[in-house]
Structure formats: structure tokens, C-alpha cells
């Protein structure tokens, strides 16, 4: 999202400054209202398991929709045309996948006071190998996700301010603000700021769509351009495009639902009712976000025809510039849009950082290094390691390594390998712990190898090949060897549903 | 009256519904590359995909409202 906006400059700096101040104020508010927040893991990382429907909804929203949705999706729609309409259903798929595990997970989260996804894996398998491997995969995936957000923040800020604020200053400014409000109020700060950031993003994309429809032509003129110059952009997908469509539905549906920060949010809900209400709202958001930015990309086809791939990456900046030149309303609306884009990136990054710290605090330091440490100390260690990771990632963002850059690209491919342990573990008593470990490890190695080699047999993504091998080993191993009677009994006690059934059987 | 405890994952209707909608939301059943007729500048197949996507959202709403009640809130209230 590297772009220069002629309309930015000082008005951009004003909006970003105000935005930074507002976020800090929210953090301070959360801190003053909940003084004990840094004394308890539950309070700090899950907002005291008390998030209401609206705040929970926006914090889920922030995990799924980032600044990249606004700036990166329209160029893809521009290049692929209607074949990228898949971006609407793949966001709906995420909620569908949630429904296969969230109900039981929420119930178990309450019963066993679960804090992180690894916490669940540890409860279910009681295996240090499985827990540590899952923690490493999650930290690795989250780290790369954070890196991507930092690069986007820097480019967004320097673009919005017309280069007045250099890339590096933009990154440092927002990281300091983000760490400050996260440290002050933990999950509550993150969730409250997610709400403000989500509203800013929604306002921005709708203004962009309305402006584009008014000033840059609608869908019929875009269709006429495509029919004349590139009819494949209008046509129903076929061959590789169809395989890509299918892969995106599966990979994004499963991958984004089990993003560790998304998974963890299930534990933050105040009640089952609250969680259900948030999911229903989320089921319709793809039309209002992905659908809207998709239309913006399609309108760009007739507004700015014949862009090269590199030029098309600047599409949102070009549209915003064209609108900002129309009148004062759109000028300020576009400044706010880019403020909203940066806000959305920050809101995704803060969620990722909080979950990253929670896995360090609770699953690695708290479980294996110093189980007897106070919760305050565990939180402090999580925060400090989180900041150290941020410093390393920022250095990587500024000085990208010449070789092995793909190490920092793996995200979904790695995270999705934890899915069998997380989801199958909820329902299948015979699930064999060794098979889970071997599947997770082999799936990760295969997915990474295919990604590095740029190998995509049958057009299917590397992450899905890894997941297929993972499932094969995990399910095959469990069917062959089963679980020991002690393991099955233990699994029975944990996952019996409803919980009273286990008690009845025990009697 | 005691409330019914139910999970979506255990309901055949939920699996069938999601299976059908997932199959329909992947555009394999249109003639390759076809786009005519257009409605408001949108190819016919894209409108069908949007309609199926909306049906998926509505089905999700039904599943959440009618097929998901683990009783977690009641347990919470009793504490």
C-alpha cells in the first residue's frame, strides 16, 4: 500500500495526531475504570470475560478486516474482475466455521477458565510436545502477521501525509501509542479502540463507494469497459480461477476462524447470548465491507483503465485523490478514510500483539518457566517479550533480508496446522496425542516447503496440502492406534457434552 | 421447563444446509466464461453468487438462533 496522496500533508498529520490522542485517552479510561487490570490474567487478556455484544462484535470485526481490506482488495478486484467476488463469501465462511467449534469451546472456556488457544490444547492433550509446538506455530504466525501490519502502518502514514511524516516515524509513533494503550488497559483498551477504529473504517469505505459512484461512473460503465477490453474479468471463473476460488473459501474460512487472536476472543464474551449476537452481526458484515471495497475496485476498471499491476496497487490512492479534488466534503472524507485505514491496521496489530503476549505469559513462561510466579509477573513478562518481539519485527520491516524473505510470509499456512488439534480435539475422544503432534509437524514442514519452492500442485495452495497431510496423519494415526484408556477417560471428562453427562457416567 | 441443550455440529440439517450452500457458493455450475445477461452492470452469475452468499448468512442466523444452546448462560446464572 505504497502511495502518495497529494491531498494529505498537514491535514493528514492533524487527523493522525487526533487519532493517536483519542486512542491514548481510551487506554487511560480503561485503566482508571479497572484498576486491578494488571494483577489478573483474566482481566488483562480477556477483559474480565465480560465483553458485551457491541464491543465483542467490533473486536471480532478488527481481527477479520484490516487496513489491507480497504487498500489491498480493490486492486485485486481491479485485476481479476468478478472472479474476486469470492472475497464476500470467504468472509462469511469464517462465521460458518466458527459455528462448528465456538459453542462447545465457549462452554469449555467457562468451565475450565481457559485463557488462550494453547491453554485448550494443553487441557485436552496434557502433552508438553503438542502444547509447545502449537505455541511456537502460533507465535510464528502471529509474528509475521504483526510484521505485515507494521509495514502497512508505515506506508499508510507516509502516503497519507504526502511524505511529510517519513515511513519510520509513522511506524514508531503508532507502535508507541498502541503499546501504551494496550499496557494501560489490556483487552478492554484493545476492544474499545477496536470499536472506534471499526466505525472509522466503515465510514471511510462507504464514503469512498458513494463518491466513486457519483463522480467516477457506476458498475454499468465498468462492465462496458470489461466487455470491450477484458471479457474474462466478467466471465464465470473456470480452470485455475475456479480452484483458487475454492481454495480461498476453505483456507480463509478455516484459517481466519482459528487465528489465535480470533479464537481467544470467544473466551472474552460476557455470555453465550452475547457471543451469538456478535456472530449474527458478523455474518452480514462481508456485504458491507468486502462487498463495498470489491465494488470500488470494479469501478476503478472504467475510471482508470489499463493500469499495470504495479500501478493498480495505487488504485485506492488514485480514487481518493480524484474524489478529494471534487469538494471540501470529499477532501476531508478522504483524509478520514486514510485515518480509518491506519486505524484498522493498528486495531488488527494490537489484537495480535495482545494474544502474542498472552501465549508467552500463560503458556510458555507461566506453565513451563515459572508456574509459581504471580499473575502480575506473568503479565509483565508477556508484555516485555511482546515489546522485544515488536522491536525485532520493526528492524526486519526496515531492513528486509535479501534472502529467505519467504520465512516472513508464512502465516495462514502455519496457523492452519493447529486446526486438527483445536477442533477435532473438541469432539473426538479417540484422538491420539502422538498422531496430533506428528500431523501438526509434518503439515507445517510440507506447507513451508511448498511455499518456499513456489510449488502448487493442481493449483491447490500449499497450506491446504499441509493441512491434508496433517489430517491424514492425525486421523489415520488415531484410527490405527486410538487413545489409551486413561487418555480416553480423561477426554471423556473434559469434552462430554452436556457436562452433566460425564458426571452421570462417572457415577 | 428445562431448556433443550443443542449444538450445531450434532445436527444433520446444519451439515446438509452448509454443504449445499458451500457447493452453490462456488461457481462451478455456470458455463465457463459466460457473463450475459448483465443486470445493473453485474453479470448474472455474480448476482446468483451474491444471492447464495446472502442465503448463507441467513442460514447462519437460523443456526445461531435455533441450533445453538449449550446452557452455558444458565450454569453461569446458577453460580
CATH code where residue A331 lies? 1.20.1730.10
- Distance (Å, rounded) from C-alpha A42 to C-alpha A113? 8
B35 and A CB contact within 8 Å:
yes
- Distance (Å, rounded) from C-alpha B18 to C-alpha B23? 8
pLDDT at residue number B78: 46
**Looking at chain B, which residue has its C-alpha nearest residue A288?**
B54
| Contact call for B33 and A231, based on CB within 8 A | yes
The shortest C-alpha distance from B19 to chain A (Å) reads 11
Q: Which residues of A76-113 are buried (b: 16+ CB within 10 A; e: fewer)?
A: bbbbbbbbbbbbbbbbbbbbbbbbbbbbbbbbbbbeee
Count of structural domains, chain A:
1
What confidence category does residue A1 fall into, taking pLDDT thresholds of 50, 70 and 90? very low
- In-domain check, residue A257: yes
Q: What are phi and psi of A456, to 5 degrees?
A: -140, 75
- In-domain check, residue A21: yes
Cell numbers at residue A58, please? 467490533
Half-sphere exposure of A461 (CA within 13 A, CB side): 22
| Contact call for A96 and B69, based on CB within 8 A | no
- In-domain check, residue A354: yes
Cell numbers at residue A210, please? 458513494
| Contact call for A236 and B69, based on CB within 8 A | no
Share of residues in chain A with pLDDT > 70 (%): 93
* B contacts of A92 (beta carbons < 8 Å): 53, 56-57, 60
Mean pLDDT of chain A: 85
pLDDT, tens digit, 9 for 90 and up, residues A143-199: 988 888 887 777 777 766 666 777 778 788 888 888 888 888 888 888 888 888 888
Report yes or no for ipTM above 0.85: yes
- In-domain check, residue A474: no
- In-domain check, residue A477: no
- Distance (Å, rounded) from C-alpha A66 to C-alpha A72? 10
Q: Cis bond leading into A498, ω under 30°?
A: yes
Residue pair A249/A86 in contact (Cβ under 8 Å)? The answer is: yes
Give the DSSP H/E element, type plus range, for residue B43: strand B42-43
Range of the domain at A50: 10-427
Distance of CA A452 to the CA centre of its chain: 23
| Partner residue opposite B34 with nearest CB, options A235, A272, A276 | A235
pLDDT, tens digit, 9 for 90 and up, residues A234-279: 888 888 888 888 888 888 888 888 889 888 999 988 888 999 999 9
B77 and A CB contact within 8 Å:
no
Element counts in chain A: helices (H) and strands (E): 26, 0
- In-domain check, residue A470: no
| Partner residue opposite B46 with nearest CB, options A85, A222, A239 | A85
Ordered alpha helix ranges (H), A454-498: 462-481, 485-495
| Partner residue opposite B9 with nearest CB, options A227, A238, A427 | A427
- In-domain check, residue A468: no
- In-domain check, residue A305: yes
pLDDT, tens digit, 9 for 90 and up, residues B33-56: 888 888 988 999 999 999 999 999
Amino acid at each position: 500500500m505504497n502511495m502518495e496522496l497529494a491531498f494529505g500533508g498537514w491535514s493528514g498529520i492533524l487527523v493522525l495526531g487526533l487519532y493517536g490522542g483519542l486512542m491514548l485517552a481510551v487506554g487511560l479510561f480503561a485503566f482508571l475504570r479497572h484498576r486491578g487490570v494488571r494483577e489478573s490474567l483474566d482481566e488483562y487478556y480477556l477483559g474480565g470475560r465480560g465483553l458485551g455484544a457491541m464491543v465483542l462484535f467490533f473486536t471480532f470485526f478488527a481481527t477479520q478486516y484490516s487496513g489491507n481490506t480497504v487498500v489491498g482488495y480493490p486492486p485485486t478486484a481491479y485485476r481479476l474482475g468478478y472472479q474476486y467476488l469470492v472475497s464476500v463469501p470467504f468472509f462469511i465462511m469464517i462465521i460458518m466455521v466458527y459455528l462448528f467449534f465456538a459453542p462447545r469451546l465457549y462452554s469449555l472456556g467457562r468451565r475450565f477458565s481457559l485463557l488462550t488457544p494453547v491453554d485448550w490444547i494443553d487441557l485436552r492433550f496434557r502433552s508438553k510436545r503438542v502444547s509447545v509446538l502449537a505455541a511456537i506455530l502460533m507465535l510464528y504466525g502471529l509474528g509475521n502477521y504483526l510484521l505485515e501490519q507494521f509495514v502497512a502502518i508505515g506506508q499508510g502514514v507516509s502516503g497519507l501525509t504526502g511524505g511529510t511524516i517519513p515511513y519510520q516515524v509513522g511506524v514508531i509513533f503508532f507502535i508507541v501509542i498502541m503499546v501504551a494503550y494496550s499496557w494501560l488497559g489490556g483487552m478492554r483498551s484493545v476492544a474499545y479502540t477496536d470499536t472506534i477504529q471499526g466505525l472509522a473504517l466503515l465510514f471511510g469505505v462507504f464514503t469512498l463507494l458513494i463518491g466513486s459512484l457519483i463522480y467516477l461512473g457506476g458498475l454499468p460503465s465498468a462492465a462496458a469497459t470489461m466487455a470491450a477490453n477484458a471479457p474474462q474479468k466478467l466471465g464465470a471463473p473456470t480452470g485455475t480461477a475456479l480452484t483458487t476460488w475454492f481454495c480461498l473459501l476453505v483456507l480463509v474460512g478455516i484459517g481466519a476462524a482459528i487465528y489465535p487472536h480470533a479464537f481467544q476472543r470467544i473466551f472474552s464474551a460476557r455470555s453465550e447470548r452475547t457471543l451469538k449476537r456478535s456472530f449474527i452481526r458478523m455474518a452480514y458484515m462481508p456485504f458491507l465491507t468486502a462487498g463495498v471495497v470489491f465494488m470500488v475496485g470494479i469501478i476503478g476498471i472504467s475510471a482508470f483503465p489499463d493500469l499495470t499491476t504495479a500501478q493498480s496497487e495505487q488504485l485506492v490512492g488514485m480514487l481518493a485523490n480524484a474524489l478529494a479534488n471534487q469538494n471540501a466534503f470529499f477532501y476531508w472524507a478522504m483524509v478520514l478514510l486514510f485515518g480509518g485505514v491506519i486505524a484498522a491496521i493498528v486495531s488488527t496489530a494490537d489484537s495480535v500483539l495482545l494474544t502474542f503476549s498472552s501465549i508467552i505469559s500463560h503458556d510458555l513462561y507461566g506453565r513451563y518457566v515459572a508456574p509459581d510466579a504471580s499473575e502480575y509477573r506473568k503479565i509483565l513478562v508477556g508484555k516485555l517479550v511482546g515489546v522485544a518481539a515488536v522491536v525485532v519485527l520493526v528492524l526486519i520491516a526496515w531492513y528486509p533480508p535479501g534472502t529467505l524473505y519467504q520465512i516472513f510470509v508464512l502465516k495462514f499456512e502455519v496457523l492452519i496446522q493447529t486446526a486438527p488439534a483445536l477442533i477435532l480435539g473438541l469432539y473426538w475422544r479417540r484422538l491420539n496425542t502422538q498422531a496430533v503432534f506428528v500431523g501438526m509437524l509434518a503439515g507445517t514442514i510440507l506447507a513451508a516447503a511448498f511455499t518456499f519452492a513456489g510449488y502448487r500442485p493442481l493449483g491447490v495452495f500449499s497450506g491446504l496440502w499441509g493441512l491434508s497431510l496433517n489430517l491424514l496423519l492425525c486421523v489415520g494415526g488415531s484410527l490405527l492406534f486410538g487413545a489409551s484408556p486413561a487418555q480416553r477417560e480423561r477426554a471423556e471428562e473434559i469434552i462430554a457434552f452436556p457436562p452433566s453427562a460425564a458426571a452421570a457416567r462417572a457415577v | 421447563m428445562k431448556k433443550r441443550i443443542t449444538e450445531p455440529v450434532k445436527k444433520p440439517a446444519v451439515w446438509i444446509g452448509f454443504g449445499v450452500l458451500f457447493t452453490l457458493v462456488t461457481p462451478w455450475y455456470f458455463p465457463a466464461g459466460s457473463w450475459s445477461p448483465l443486470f445493473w452492470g453485474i453479470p448474472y452469475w455474480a448476482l446468483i453468487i451474491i444471492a447464495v452468499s446472502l442465503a448463507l448468512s441467513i442460514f447462519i442466523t437460523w443456526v445461531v438462533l435455533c441450533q445453538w444452546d449449550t446452557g452455558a448462560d444458565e450454569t453461569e446464572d446458577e453460580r
